[in-house]
């Protein structure tokens, strides 16, 4: 897995073929984009031609960033091994320490018309959560 505030990439089985794919989520031109690449693996894995599709349109996270009031798409959290306190990992995050990912999208299909932006949030606990 790799990622930053605007991109998340991971290896996972996303279809029914029994093999892992490289899946990346990112924002491009106000759309949340999913990119899926089959892998050819011998001693290392090489992504093949990607399948790219729009998941959500009208994502305004980047537009807000330009105004100085933006928001990250992904926030990565880990826990302090001594206290167990959950904290944001910072930017760039230490991906091996990530145990929880918060996804935050500001969506407005037409910024020039009401209603205003809707905020969508969800959190994902990774399987490596062990505390």
Q: Is residue 42 a contact partner of residue 49, using CB atoms and an 8 Å limit?
A: no
| pLDDT of 36 | 93
Mean pLDDT of the residues in the chain: 83
Which tokens belong to 88? Answer: 């944001």
Report the range out of 20-34, 39-53, 63-77, 85-99 with the highest average pLDDT.
20-34
| pLDDT of 79 | 81
Q: Is residue 39 a contact partner of residue 19, using CB atoms and an 8 Å limit?
A: yes
Q: Which residue has the higher pLDDT, 17 or 122?
A: 122
Q: Is residue 128 a contact partner of residue 97, using CB atoms and an 8 Å limit?
A: no
SS3 126: coil
**Preceding peptide of 3 cis, ω within 30°:** no
């Amino acid at each position: 897995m790799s990622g930053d505030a605007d991109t998340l990439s991971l290896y996972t089985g996303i279809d029914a073929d029994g093999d892992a794919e490289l899946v990346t989520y990112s924002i491009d031109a106000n759309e949340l984009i999913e990119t899926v690449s089959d892998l050819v693996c011998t001693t290392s894995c090489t992504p093949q031609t990607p399948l790219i599709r729009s998941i959500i349109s009208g994502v305004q996270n980047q537009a807000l960033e330009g105004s100085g009031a933006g928001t990250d798409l992904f926030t990565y959290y880990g826990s302090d091994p001594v206290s167990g306190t959950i904290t944001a990992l910072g930017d760039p995050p230490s991906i091996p320490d990530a145990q929880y990912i918060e996804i935050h999208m500001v969506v407005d299909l037409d910024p020039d018309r009401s209603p205003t932006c809707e905020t969508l949030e969800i959190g994902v606990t990774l399987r490596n959560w062990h505390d």
